[in-house]
Amino acid sequence: MENGGRANILDRSYRVISSCLNRWGTGIVFSAIIALAFGALFFKADDMAHTPVVIGVCTFDSARVGSTLDQFSEFCRTKGCGDIRWRYLRPGQKIAGCDFYIMTSLELSAPLARGNLGCALLAAEREAHRYSRSSVLVKAGVTALPARGARIVFGSARSAAGFLAPYRALERSGYALSEASIEFAGSYPGEERVVFGVLFGAYDAGGISLERLQALKKAGIVRDGEIDVLCEGEALPEIVIAYEPSSYTQDRRNFARHLPRVFDRVPHSLRSELSALGIAGFYAPRKSDLELIGKLDAMIPPAATAAPRGGAGDVRRDSAR
């Protein structure tokens, strides 16, 4: 009887312990499942490797940038930053149907102010600097422009650093510019045509960003002693990555957050090619950046409103809005 009682006690103890272990095991399993579920949600939110991202290219043409951008998109895929596809938009084509758009700050200005487009990133022309410096170039030795009839060439009416800022710098320097005195080189950014137009005497001066001038010198297109800077203008944001607010999903936000980090790991050779196009880094816009971009369109002087009439590759500002 004594042995039977002990057996019953041991049996009950075993059952109690087994039941507790089962409950604890079940709890651990459920906790693990919940943790994995949350981890999967987090991972999905941040893993962009297979997420298609269509970027409309408004600023450049495919012949100039196609190969470089394709290399960049392939690099981004290997680093888990989305499956980027480029869609080249013609000047004046409606801005719609893409996840993001590469455009100039002047092209974005009016739509940003109206709330039709947002700014996800600034694409700076030089590393560690969000804005581009502007300049007015002249042939070496020239210290002033003709008081009347000066001929000024700008790369594109869509460029803040290559048109708006140099134009305003000339006005501040006392030069009265008219529509008749302004011409544009052609397709964006057109900096080579600006420099050669000044060098060969077709124009008295040309507007260009100092970053673009440095790139031309580095490439050996411009030699030291050939060109002088008559005056410098204010620094302004030049290239931006824009989006349509109605389709700016969490996946798109994740892509915009990851892209600057991925760009920092781009190999030197590809980074040099991107920099030659005017893309040396990506930066998240600050409130002050957005406020400035939204004001750029209103900063265009009245004399320049109808100015784009030169190069066949350029378009009027209002057609790019």
Six-digit token string for 308? 């784009």
Residue 115 has pLDDT above 70, yes or no: yes
For residue 310, the one-letter residue type is G
Question: What is the CB neighbour count within 10 angstroms for residue 135?
Answer: 26
Q: What mean pLDDT, rounded, does the chain reach?
A: 83
Cα atoms in the 13 Å half-sphere on the side-chain side of 126: 15
How far apart (Å, rounded) are the C-alpha atoms in residues 165 and 279? 19
Q: Which CATH architecture has domain 132-237?
A: 3-Layer(aba) Sandwich (3.40)
Residue-level pLDDT at 119: 98
Whether domain 52-129+238-297 has CATH 3.90.1150.10: the reply is: no
How far apart (Å, rounded) are the C-alpha atoms in residues 208 and 132? 10
The predicted-structure confidence for 45-89, as pLDDT tens digits, reads as follows 455 667 899 999 998 888 889 999 999 999 999 998 989 999 999
Radius of gyration, alpha carbons of the chain: 29
Query: Which of 142-146, 185-189, 259-263 shows the lowest per-residue confidence on average (mean pLDDT)?
Result: 185-189
CA separation, residue 156 to residues 84, 105, 188, 314 (Å): 27, 12, 6, 7
Residue 248 has pLDDT above 80, yes or no: yes
Same fold, 52-129+238-297 and 132-237: yes
Q: Where are the domains of the chain?
A: 1-46, 52-129+238-297, 132-237
> 234 by DSSP, 3-state: which?
strand
CA separation, residue 234 to residues 23, 40, 106, 136, 216 (Å): 70, 48, 15, 11, 21
What would the mean pLDDT of 140-155 be, rounded to a whole number?
A: 90
Six-digit token string for 251? 């996946």
Q: How confident is the model at residue 224 (pLDDT cuts 50, 70, 90)?
A: confident
How far apart (Å, rounded) are the C-alpha atoms in residues 224 and 28? 72
The predicted-structure confidence for 149-168, as pLDDT tens digits, reads as follows 899 999 888 899 999 999 99
What would the mean pLDDT of 105-111 be, rounded to a whole number?
A: 95
Q: How confident is the model at residue 314 (pLDDT cuts 50, 70, 90)?
A: very low
